[in-house]
Amino acid sequence: MNKHRSNTGLVTFIYIAIFTVTILSFFMLGFSESLMRFVVTLLAIGIAETAVYGYSILWLRSASEAGRTSPVLVSGAWIIALYVIVVIAMAVLLDWLLELSPLWYAVVQLFMLVTAVAVLEAIGLYGRNAASGERRDAEASRNLRHQLQELRGIREIASTWKHPGTARLMELVDALEEKFRYSDPISNPELSATEDMINQQISLLHDHVALLLVLKEPPADWETETQELTESIAGTLQRRNRELAALK
């Protein structure tokens, strides 16, 4: 946090210094014989410098919060850089060399500003939509990740069972986990009831395996019960995958 504030303060100091030098340079040296072109050029370059400053602050804030540099931020930086170059080029060409009519010169600079804002807004909209899609995908894949974690926990519990049937129990749990591993990770809100049923069945399997570990002598049909539980979960998972495929 302190580093972020330090960088923000440094960028602000640089911006103020550059902006001050720009204003002093314009008033000391002048830029054209036309007062209106002079004012338009000063405003255009001032806006360009302010845009660089504002985007730099946005970059620092976004990078510190996300922990990485977004491709959308990089694209926006290129747009800002291109805008600054075009503004300076138009000032030199249209104001100084060609001495374009003040009205048309103002229209050109305004057009450059509006175009840059529109492109930045389009990039920002794309970035927001992409981030929203990533959040939806992460939320949709949370169920399967949770289910896999539960199965890994069951396998760890099963591996501690001091019984000759440990290998068979592990085999049943591993086979079920394999089916989950190769299922579509992205779910759908319409499958919430099916996902809840799978979670409940996995919880039942967890309780069943935990019970086997605490019993001194497991029931004679423990393997059949365990297999029925895993097959029931696998059947619900298969139904979930069919329903999911039908929704796509």
State the number of CA atoms in the 13 A half-sphere of 46 facing the CB: 15
- Kindly give the residue spans of alpha helices, DSSP state H, lying in the chain: 2-29, 35-66, 71-90, 102-140, 142-159, 166-181, 192-214, 222-247
The reported pLDDT for the residue numbered 95 is 83
Please name the helix (run of DSSP H) or strand (run of DSSP E) that holds residue 96, with its range, or none. Answer: none
pTM metric for this prediction: 0.59
**Joined tokens for residue 67:** 């922990």
Output b/e per residue, 212-234; b: 16+ Cβ within 10 A: beeeeebeeebeeebbebbeebb
Report the C-alpha gap between 63 and 58 in whole angstroms: 8
Report the C-alpha gap between 139 and 35 in whole angstroms: 58
**Joined tokens for residue 195:** 């996902």
Nearest Cα residue to 75 out of 116, 134, 114: 116
Nearest Cα residue to 236 out of 197, 202, 209, 205: 197
Report the C-alpha gap between 75 and 79 in whole angstroms: 6
Nearest Cα residue to 38 out of 49, 25, 50, 48: 25
Report the C-alpha gap between 64 and 67 in whole angstroms: 5
The reported pLDDT for the residue numbered 62 is 79
Report the C-alpha gap between 134 and 127 in whole angstroms: 10
The reported pLDDT for the residue numbered 6 is 72
Report the C-alpha gap between 37 and 94 in whole angstroms: 9
From first to last of its 248 residues, the chain has per-residue pLDDT tens of 555 667 888 889 999 999 999 888 888 876 556 888 888 999 999 999 999 999 988 888 876 665 566 778 888 889 999 999 999 999 889 888 888 888 999 999 999 999 999 998 998 888 778 777 666 666 667 888 889 999 999 999 999 998 889 999 999 999 999 999 989 888 888 888 999 999 999 999 999 999 999 988 888 899 999 999 999 999 999 999 999 889 87
The reported pLDDT for the residue numbered 178 is 93
Nearest Cα residue to 156 out of 144, 176, 174: 174
State the number of CA atoms in the 13 A half-sphere of 223 facing the CB: 10
Give, as one character, the DSSP assignment of residue 190.
Answer: G
